[in-house]
Amino acid sequence: MLDFTSLRRSDIPELVRITRENMAQIILSAWGVEWRDETLLETLMDANLLIEVALEGQKVVGYHVLDQMEDYIFIVSIQLEKQHQGKGLGRFMMERVEESAIRSGLEGVELCVQSTNEQAIGFYRHLGYRLASRRRNNLTMRKQFGLK
């Protein structure tokens, strides 16, 4: 369904475009600040993070950024190009992350989502993620393997 590749320099402009289109309004509504490409570029350049770019054929359709913690995987970001949302690809990517965490013997998967991102919150809830904590407009959600 999707292929994955590690980040190539040539992918960066498209990943920035996809993310800006998805997130600028959400960040503005959650934090009252304008979108800055630089913040994302710093994340994409962080050698401690694992970035997988999702491809349909040769076309970049999305990516996720993962941080492997001691007991769980933290999803720093998951993004799909607007036209490719709502077709099961997000579930496919999340299941890939969860399978990798299970294979590594980890306890679960965790992520942060802005409280104004209702679409993503609904998506995560549907996939079994539950609210773990809330800090201002940031919700931490968690799926712990072995729990319903």
Ligand X SMILES: CC(C)(COP(=O)(O)OP(=O)(O)OC[C@H]1O[C@@H](n2cnc3c(N)ncnc32)[C@H](O)[C@@H]1OP(=O)(O)O)[C@@H](O)C(=O)NCCC(=O)NCCS
Residue 89 touches ligand X, criterion: CB under 6 A: yes
Interface with ligand X (CB under 6 A), residue from 36, 59, 91, 130: 91
Interface with ligand X (CB under 6 A), residue from 27, 60, 117, 139: 117
Question: Of the two residues 52 and 105, which places its CB atom closer to ligand X in the complex?
Answer: 52
Residue 9 touches ligand X, criterion: CB under 6 A: no
Q: CB of 36: closest distance to ligand X in angstroms? A: 16
User: Looking only at residues 69 through 88 of this chain, which bind ligand X when binding is defined by CB under 6 A?
Assistant: 78-80, 85-88
Spatial separation of the C-alpha atoms in residues 103 and 97, rounded to whole Å: 10
The residues near 1 (Cβ < 8 Å, ≥ 6 apart) are 88, 89, 92
Spatial separation of the C-alpha atoms in residues 103 and 142, rounded to whole Å: 18
C-alpha separations of 110 from 5, 85, 100 in Å: 22, 21, 13
Q: CB of 85: closest distance to ligand X in angstroms? A: 4
Tell me the two tokens of residue 143: 């799926």
